[in-house]
Chains A and B, each alone.
Chain A
Amino acid sequence: MGMTMNAITRSQIYVLDQDEALDFYVGKLGFEVNTDQDLGFMRWLTVNVPGDPEREILLEKPGPPALDPATAEQVRELLTKGAIGGWISITTDDARKAYEDLVAKGVDITDEPTERPYGIDFGIRDPFGNRIRIGQMFPRA
């Protein structure tokens, strides 16, 4: 083995509106803004779970110049029908409590908390169509 990869530090999901994405990811899920910078050609907006700035998620708005308008429109249509593939899996200390919190905040629930071989987890959907999984994981054997 020559090279060794260390960690996944940044990943990306598409959002329709970055302010609305902040309301959801920061306001409802409790993420922290990592970087919010206007680069001119795009707004570089990343968030992380509290206390873990080494792992950022880019909340990217599809559009020009990276994507032509017709392609951006296709991305938006697939995103809103849940077909773009955006997926985040997050861990928590108490899945049932997190679930109650998010229900109270009016978040779309896709799956009730359930005990699985790997832990207790539930599913939600972000306002745009991305899937999010929140789990209280058992230690791996």
Chain B
Amino acid sequence: MSRAVEESNRAMLRARDAMDRAYAEPLDIPALARIALVSEAHFIRTFRATFGETPHRYLQRRRVERAMSMLIESDRDVTDICFAVGFSSLGSFSRTFRQIVGESPSDFRRRRSAAAANVPSCFTKAWTRPSSFG
């Protein structure tokens, strides 16, 4: 029994890693379920049970985190960033960003400046993905 849980966890983690790595690509549930070697319905249910949110929401938060990082660290315009992090329309990007962050991408950019600490970016990436867990 526990072996099955471990294998399932590791497969879900592999799909989550794919989202962290390839967030800019048009990832969809069928592609992620293939990485995890399970059916689509099983994938969504199991991912949520493992990590506490749906794969769709995980990917949205990853893309928003990457956008936040680019808004702070680059001077690319908002539309450019929207497509660079994997959103397919400016409307859905702005709506999702505002819903998760609580303000528009350009307001967010105005308020923030680059962080300076010399911390490995994998930690920054893991810890600054906006969460719904409280």
Contacts and interface: CB of A to CB of B under 8 A. Distances in A.
A27 B120 CA distance: 26
B13 A82 contact: yes
Interface stretch (A3-11, A35-43, A106-114): A106-114
Contact of A82 (B16, B21, B118, B121): B16
A129 B9 contact: yes
Contacts of B51: 81
Interface string B85-123: 000000000000000000000000000000000101110
B13 to A, nearest CB: 5
Nearest to B22: A112
Contacts, number: 57
A125 interface: yes
Interface string B33-49: 00000000000000000
Interface residues of A, number: 26
B24 to A, nearest CB: 11
Interface in B1-49: 2, 5-7, 9-10, 12-14, 16-17, 20-21
B10 A116 contact: no
Contacts of A117: 118
Q: Is the interface of B mostly helix, strand, loop or mixed?
A: helix
A130 B69 CA distance: 25
Nearest to B1: A73
Chain B, interface residues (CB within 8 Å), range: 20 to 34
A110 B21 contact: yes
A131 B123 CA distance: 11
Contact of B122 (A77, A109, A131): A131
A66 B5 CA distance: 22
Contacts of A127: 10
A16 B16 CA distance: 20
Interface of A: 16, 73, 76-77, 79-82, 89, 108-112, 114, 116-118, 121, 123, 125, 127-129, 131, 133
